[in-house]
C-alpha cells in the first residue's frame, strides 16, 4: 500500500508540473496574439498598452462587497437582509 501512495503522490506532482507548463504555454500564446492585435490597432491610429498585473482581481459578482449597514459580505446596504423591507434579500419576521 505505501508503494501505491508514493506512486499516487508522484503522479500528482507530475500532473501539477504538466499543468503549470500548459498554463505558461497558453499564457504566452495569448499574450502574443493580443500583442499582435494591439499592433494592428496602433497601425490604424489607436494607442493601447499591454501590461501584466500580479495577483488575482476581485471578482465582480458581489461576493467581495462589504455592507456598510451590518458589516456582512455579499451584499450592499441597499440589499441588506437586516434592513428588512422589499429590497432586502431576506426579510426578518415581525413579532
> What tens digit of pLDDT does each residue of 62-75 get?
456 778 888 887 77
pTM (whole model) above 0.75: no
Q: What is the pLDDT of residue 63?
A: 53
Place of cell 494607442: 47
Domain count, the chain: 2
Same domain, 44 and 80: no
Grid cell listed for 27: 499564457
Same domain, 40 and 64: no
| Rounded CA separation 4/71 (Å) | 48
Joined grid coordinates for residue 58: 476581485
Mean pLDDT throughout 67-94? 68
- Do 38 and 11 lie in one domain? The reply is yes
Q: Which domain holds residue 60?
A: 55-95
Amino acid at each position: 500500500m505505501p508503494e501505491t501512495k508514493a506512486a499516487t503522490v508522484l503522479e500528482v506532482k507530475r500532473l501539477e508540473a504538466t499543468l503549470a507548463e500548459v498554463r505558461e504555454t497558453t499564457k504566452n500564446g495569448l499574450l502574443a496574439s493580443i500583442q499582435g492585435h494591439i499592433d494592428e490597432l496602433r497601425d490604424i491610429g489607436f494607442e493601447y498598452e499591454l501590461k501584466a498585473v500580479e495577483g488575482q482581481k476581485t471578482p465582480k459578482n458581489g461576493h467581495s462587497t462589504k455592507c456598510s449597514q451590518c458589516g456582512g459580505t455579499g451584499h450592499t446596504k441597499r440589499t441588506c437582509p437586516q434592513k428588512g423591507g422589499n429590497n432586502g434579500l431576506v426579510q426578518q419576521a415581525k413579532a
